[in-house]
Amino acid sequence: MVLRRGVKKNKSPARRVYLAVLHRPAGVIPMQHSENTHYRVEPGGRLRGCLRVPGDKSISHRAAMLGALAEGDTEVTGFLEGADSLATLAALRALGVEMEGPEQGRLLIHGVGLHGLKAPAGALDLGNSGTSMRLLCGLLAGQGFEVVLTGDASLSRRPMRRVTEPLARMGARIETTAEGTAPLRIHPAGDLHGIHYELPVASAQVKSAVLLAGLYARGETCVSEPAPTRDHSERMLEGLGYPLRRDGARVCLEGGGRLRGTRIDVPADISSAAFFMVGASIAPGSEILLRHVGMNPTRTGVVEILRAMGADIQVLNPRRAGGEPVADLQVRHAPLHGIEIPERLVPLAIDEFPVLFVAAACAEGETLLTGAGELRVKESDRIQVMADGLRALGIEARPREDGIRIRGGRFSGGAVDSHGDHRVAMAFAMAGLVAEGPVRISDCAHVDTSFPGFPELAREAGLDIRREGA
């Protein structure tokens, strides 16, 4: 495969960041600092048509990292060209990995092997991407050089000790701030050793970071989780030829193996598809088909929750792509009712709760979420930010320490602040479908981190949305 390194016709803000990095020497990597963006959504409308949302962000990150550590080339299709995953690519290039693209989702990675990374010329700025920082922390813990990981103001507030503490047990030397946040200074490793680590809180990012460090450790590294989390890392490691041992909630690997380049097809992101699932469910007259959506069983909590609320979601043409289950999802409008969300589904839908709160606001009766304290340490405090936004639009929402209680009602028009959280911004955009007046959402620039082109695709489907400058 030959990819042209050049300018795409459709240069999104995230794409412009990548092209800027592509032509700079390795060193301090500039990330997106665009002017603020607001969304204005006019009331009414319905969602119709056949859509394919961008590629899965979690899988895109892992494809880039594991492809870089493989021997030989890895060809990726469906790669998400959002700011977060482009931050991972920029960091890997600064670490000496050559790659071609991404261009229309196609990326060719020339792997350097487990021991082929090089010291970067400066700090690696990962922008707003928590996945990049936490997974790279594990990947870089076993290297023979020092590296500093930084991020924007939001990322610099997010907790990192949940990753650095288990890595320290393996022998890694990682400095954080006094609050346990970035910047992270990773010192050259002497000799990592495997550990058996029981996650105190279900977290795919922590699990993946420990397993990545385990590639460089003596002996066996095992991670046990209290509840199932996304297993993209495990599937991809096996796809690149690295042996794993799975035993219920435990996954183990031996250090010192090899990864072999392969082909990876990244499915459409179910987290991005969730906005259209909810939009179609709440807006009368809606009917959409979402194509090639990733249906990993550790990610389908959003479908289970919406169906429990009465949503009409049909799973069509189930199949496999690159080791991941995928399917097409047909969603029609249906009346929703409030439920108590089972705690077992919380880890399986942790990223989709902002838009699920919008569904709950449109449902008859009350919806109660508990056991979701993790939402308070995402890109924003998603429990409080969503509660504030729902109340600003006339919905009764009572936050709890680990969840929220929402009583269904009618959205008024009004203004909400997304606090720079991409999923909050897109969730309230869908609320505009059933609002009584215009909905204005502030601080939406970070939507490009996970869903470049969201307003355009949503408008094509029937949402009356437009961007406005600050």
Q: Region 276-295: what's the mean pLDDT? A: 98
Q: Region 28-39: what's the mean pLDDT? A: 57
Out of 328, 351, 417, 443, pick the active-site residue.
Answer: 351
Q: Region 132-139: what's the mean pLDDT? A: 98
- β-strand pairing of 263-265 with 124-125: unpaired
Q: Give the number of C-alpha atoms closer than 13 A to the C-alpha of residue 54, restricted to the C-beta side.
A: 27
Confidence of residue 35 (pLDDT cuts 50, 70, 90): low
pLDDT digits (tens, 9 = 90+) for 140-196: 999 999 999 999 998 999 999 999 999 999 999 999 999 999 999 999 987 999 999
The class (CATH top level) of 57-265 is alpha beta
Note the residue count of the chain: 470
Q: Give the number of C-alpha atoms closer than 13 A to the C-alpha of residue 91, restricted to the C-beta side.
A: 30
The CATH classification number of 35-55+268-469 equals 3.65.10.10
Q: Region 106-130: what's the mean pLDDT? A: 97
d(CA 276, CA 141): 39
Q: Region 338-346: what's the mean pLDDT? A: 97
pLDDT for 19 equals: 41
Q: Region 357-380: what's the mean pLDDT? A: 96
pLDDT for 135 equals: 98
pLDDT for 30 equals: 38
Confidence of residue 25 (pLDDT cuts 50, 70, 90): very low
| Closest alpha carbon to 302 in 228, 232, 353, 266 | 353
d(CA 185, CA 170): 16
Ranges of CATH 3.65.10.10 domains, the chain = 35-55+268-469, 57-265
pLDDT over threshold 60, residue 470: no
Q: Which long-range contacts (CB under 8 A, 24 or more apart) does 178-184 make?
A: 181/156, 181/157, 182/133, 182/149, 182/150, 182/151, 182/155, 182/156, 182/158, 183/123, 183/148, 183/149, 183/150, 183/151, 183/156, 184/133, 184/137, 184/148, 184/149, 184/160
pLDDT over threshold 90, residue 28: no
pLDDT for 27 equals: 36
> Which residue has better confidence, 46 or 29?
46
pLDDT for 469 equals: 77
d(CA 131, CA 133): 5
Record the pTM.
0.87
Q: What percent of the chain has pLDDT over 90?
A: 89
pLDDT over threshold 80, residue 8: no
Q: Region 62-87: what's the mean pLDDT? A: 97
**For all residues of the chain together, what is the average pLDDT?**
92
Q: Are 258 and 292 in contact (CB under 8 A)?
A: no
**Least confident span in 200-204, 395-399, 428-432:** 200-204
Active site residue 351: yes
pLDDT for 29 equals: 37
